[in-house]
Amino acid sequence: MTGTSPSGVRLGIDLGGTKIEIIALDTTGHTLYQTRTPTPKHTDTQQQYQHILNTIQSLVGDCENHLKQKNLPVGIGMPGAVSLKTGLVKNANTTCLIGRNFNSDLNETLNRKVALENDANCFALSEATDGAGQQQPCVFGVILGTGVGGGIVVNKKVFIGANAIAGEWGHNPMPWINDKDLPKQTCYCGQHGCIETYLSGPGFEKQSHMQLNTNLTCQELFTQRHASASAGLAYTLYVERLAKALASVINVLDPNIIVLGGGLSNIDTLYEDIPKRWGKYIFSDEVNTKLVKNQFGDSSGVRGAAWLTKV
């Protein structure tokens, strides 16, 4: 961890597949500076990796020049995780990072010790620190987007786990599966019927095409759910599956609050429809866990990266 600067200003960087974003927050979480730039692409992975390091370096330099401050603490959110065994990046969909000692290279590039963490953990930390879960001791943050990710924050600290995969529920099998959930899709991880193959945007779309013989896109399936019978059925199936998948997390972690993020978190009816359905799967006579939408939207990841520097 990088500690705090005399001014209390901290920088966060969110490294995504399409863009790299930087934010500067003051001690109260007020945004002092924020900008984004496209993620460099290159067919040569070594070149692309170097371009990413250079882009991060120039984003930090521009931000510090703007703020007229130097050597501010930096936290970085990235796809994937750092292996506790090797210190190298694993499980990243920005594949040029895989197998790199990204943390060490960032420390050298930025000439300081940076805090590096998985992007779903950054999302959960942002919402637990000053977002939708700020009053809650145990927050489970969920990303429902092109993939399905998750992060756990306990007492405003990221819970990393023994294998640096805590909260990564997307590649568990869909629980309480029945005929309505068949056929199972093959997942890129090598398994079948992973939660991600049902609940990510592309997974939901493909599952609906296979089962309901519809060609509607993910977005159309949700927006036309009251007008189209097949879209309505697809929505009902999505809600039931998300209820089952979240119930299995509640049965293990028992979080106070679950905060949804990612593109599918914008479907406002989920927050009413899922708690109506998850009770029958939760091993308790009452369910106190709340299900809420994120507070900071697209900015949660980069804000959580900045909060990583909080020691």
Write each residue from 260 to 289 as x if it is in contact with Zn ion (CB under 5 A), else as -, in one continuous string: ------------------------------
User: Going by C-beta distance under 8 Å and a sequence separation of 6 or more, which residues neighbour residue 55?
Assistant: 20, 37, 39, 40
Restricting to residues 46-65, which ones interact with Zn ion according to CB under 5 A?
none
Smallest separation (angstroms) from Zn ion to the CB of 245: 13
Judged by CB under 5 A, does residue 166 bind Zn ion?
no
Smallest separation (angstroms) from Zn ion to the CB of 285: 33
Q: How far is CA 300 from the centre of its chain?
A: 9
Q: Which is nearer to Zn ion, 194 or 308 (CB)?
A: 194
Q: Do 69 and 7 form a contact (C-beta atoms < 8 A)?
A: yes
Judged by CB under 5 A, does residue 311 bind Zn ion?
no
Judged by CB under 5 A, does residue 132 bind Zn ion?
no
Judged by CB under 5 A, does residue 187 bind Zn ion?
yes
Q: Do 34 and 21 form a contact (C-beta atoms < 8 A)?
A: yes
User: Residue 50 half-sphere exposure, CB side, CA atoms within 13 Å?
Assistant: 5
Q: Which residues of 185-204 are buried (b: 16+ CB within 10 A; e: fewer)?
A: eebeeeeebbbbbbbbbebb
Of 135-143, 169-177, 212-220, 221-229, the segment contacting Zn ion by CB under 5 A is 169-177
Of 4-12, 179-187, 250-258, 259-267, the segment contacting Zn ion by CB under 5 A is 179-187
Among 216, 214, 180, which Cα is nearest to 198's?
180
Judged by CB under 5 A, does residue 186 bind Zn ion?
no
Smallest separation (angstroms) from Zn ion to the CB of 145: 15
Beta bridge partners, 26, equal none
Q: Which is nearer to Zn ion, 48 or 118 (CB)?
A: 118
Of 20-28, 127-135, 166-174, 220-228, the segment contacting Zn ion by CB under 5 A is 166-174
Q: Which is nearer to Zn ion, 90 or 277 (CB)?
A: 90
Judged by CB under 5 A, does residue 189 bind Zn ion?
yes
Q: Tell me how far CA of residue 1 lies from CA of 27, 62, 305, 306, in angstroms.
A: 17, 22, 12, 11
Restricting to residues 193-222, which ones interact with Zn ion according to CB under 5 A?
194
Among 142, 129, 103, 77, which Cα is nearest to 301's?
77
Judged by CB under 5 A, does residue 171 bind Zn ion?
yes
Q: Which is nearer to Zn ion, 134 or 191 (CB)?
A: 191
The full DSSP string for 83-125 is -TTTS-EES-SSGGGTT--HHHHHHHHHTS--EEEEHHHHHHH
Of 46-54, 116-124, 164-172, 229-237, the segment contacting Zn ion by CB under 5 A is 164-172
Q: Which is nearer to Zn ion, 14 or 196 (CB)?
A: 196
Q: Which is nearer to Zn ion, 81 or 231 (CB)?
A: 81
Q: Which residues of 230-250 are buried (b: 16+ CB within 10 A; e: fewer)?
A: bbebbbebbbbbbbbbbbbbb
> Residues in the site for Zn ion, rule: CB under 5 A?
171, 187, 189, 191, 194
